[in-house]
Amino acid sequence: MVAEKQEAVLHIVGKARLQGHVPISGAKNSALALMAGALLSSEGCTIENLPCLMDVQRMEEILVSLGVKVQREAGRIHLDTTCLSSAQAPYELVSQMRASFFIIGPLLSRLGIAQIPLPGGCAIGARPVDLHVKGLQAMGAEVEISHGIVHASCPGGRLQGAKVYLDYPSVGATETIMMAATLAEGETVIQNAAQEPEVVDLANFCRTLGAKIYGAGSKTIVIVGVPQLHGGTYRVIPDRIEAGTYMIAGAITCSDITLGPVIPEHLGALIAKLREIGVQVTIETPTVIHVQGREGKYRGVEVETSPFPGFPTDMQAQLMALLTISEGNSVITETVFENRLQHVAELCRMGANIRTKGNVAIITGVESLSGAPVMATDLRASAALVLAGLAAEGETQLRGLHHLDRGYDRIEEKLRGLGATLYRV
């Protein structure tokens, strides 16, 4: 008889009081983009401050499948990209993570051909890749989608610089086009580009390898193509979403914690919202943030997610957890993804009072949450449920932990370091 595989459950003991300092890891979304960008280098490169995550592991496996030789030790990875031997990414890996699609730009630019299955990832909306494809086509690529695979090629051998206007400032499309343009012939201008810090990090990484990229972090990015990129070593920026999640952990448990390293400017919208709610947030040093929760009730607020520097969609679920126990009514409008309120039902299982209409959630603060068995529906939803569990009365049992493991580096260890009680069974 085959033994049934038991699903892991995270038990979170509520009414936690946290104290101390939590170390922040390298940014997941930067690390994934940089690993894709490494394919542009004809010499290979080293990436430091890499977070230990399932998504990073999968990206590593994808690179290996393309012929890249990988040496990894703790937070450091060396990618020898001299012997790139395949332009075809395996479906089993790509289907699990949307960021894996980002290899299409570098592969096309370096090898003149790429075959990438349509991506998977969190079920938070349709998440098409039309903007990536339109941008590559504007640069002279021929793209055909058949049987779930995007086949792209450069009939002229090399992509051509072009003016690309993005209908929406998509992070992924900006990164794809920026990477493709580094080795293209001539100048590419991306208008209405995403301004996220991870886009800037990718641009800085590519520049370390010899790319000519100007204006990353603004709405217009100019890339002057070069024949090839050399090697180099680069350090990933701190994860602003992980940092933000711990800031809310401090607030929701009325605790006093510090966190770092962070780049406070990357957290501007969240810091402003937390202060409006009544959380005391202090920039203690240029890289350390101090969060002090308060005993009395927090104030309800209105929040709308939008591209950077707006309030990040990746912090929406976690903020909602905090608002469930804040006074009065709060309103959250999710504008980036069309289906990113699935955590509402789970928070309601824990006693929250939330109604939704389309992409709007109206949260009426309750006295306190109560621990319950809940299911993670996506990556950031899983973090929101951990936060709610820390604040609730009694114990919460969280299932669907593969979501959590995709994006949070050693979360249990870090929370335990702050004094929380949680364990995986």
Interface contacts to ligand UD1, rule CB under 6 A: 29, 32, 98-99, 125-132, 168, 170-173, 194, 198, 313-314, 336-337
Report the residue number, 119 or 371, with the smaller CB distance to ligand UD1.
119
Q: Tell me, yes or no, if 254 is annotated catalytic.
A: no
Contacts of 413 (CB under 8 A, 6+ apart): none
Q: Are strands 302-304 and 329-333 parallel, antiparallel or unpaired?
A: parallel
Q: Which H or E run includes 136? A: helix 130-138
If the CB atoms of residues 13 and 52 are measured against ligand UD1, the closer one turns out to be: 52
Number of Cβ within a 10 Å radius of residue 339: 15
Q: Return the closest-CA partner of residue 300 out of 320, 277, 317.
A: 277
Q: Where are the beta strands (DSSP E) in 120-279?
A: 142-146, 149-153, 163-165, 187-191, 212-214, 220-224, 232-235, 256-260
Q: Which of 52, 83, 122, 254 is catalytic?
A: 122
Q: What angle in degrees, to the nearest 10, is found between the helix axes of 197-208 and 171-182?
A: 10
CA distance 189 to 187: 7
Residue 211 CA to residue 111 CA, distance in Å, equals 17
Six-digit token string for 263: 């780049």
In the complex, minimum distance from the CB of residue 369 to ligand UD1, in angstroms, rounded to a whole number: 25
Closest approach, Cβ 170 to ligand UD1, in A, equals: 3
Enter the tokens of residue 112: 């003149």
Give min distance, CB of 383 to ligand UD1, in A: 12
Q: What's the CA gap between 416 and 423, in Å, rounded?
A: 9
- What is the spatial distance between Cα 263 and Cα 243, in angstroms, rounded to a whole number? 10
Give the pair of three-digit tokens for residue 123: 């079920």
Which CB sits closer to ligand UD1, 314 or 405? 314
Report which residue type is found at 347: L
Q: How far apart are CA 374 and CA 327, in angstroms?
A: 24
* Cβ(8)–Cβ(425) below 8 Å: yes
Q: Do you know the residue count of the chain?
A: 425
CB atoms within 10 A of CB 117: 19
Closest to ligand UD1 by CB, 55 or 80: 55
Q: What is the number of the residue whose Cβ is closest to ligand UD1?
A: 172
Nearer to ligand UD1, 80 or 378 (CB): 378
CA 359/CA 339 separation, integer angstroms: 7
To ligand UD1, the closest distance from the beta carbon of 423 in angstroms equals 28
Q: How far is the CB of 174 from ligand UD1 (least distance, A)?
A: 8
Residue 75 near residue 51 (C-beta atoms within 8 A): yes
Task: Kindly tell me which of 369 and 411 has the beta carbon lying closer to ligand UD1.
Answer: 411
- Compare residues 174 and 208 and give the one whose CB is closer to ligand UD1: 174
Q: Which is nearer to ligand UD1, 171 or 200 (CB)?
A: 171
Which among 250, 310, 315, 309 has a CA at the least distance from the CA of 281? Answer: 250
Residue 324, C-beta contacts closer than 8 angstroms, at least 6 positions apart: 347, 350, 352, 353, 354, 363, 365, 366, 369, 388
User: So which residues are the catalytic ones?
Assistant: 122
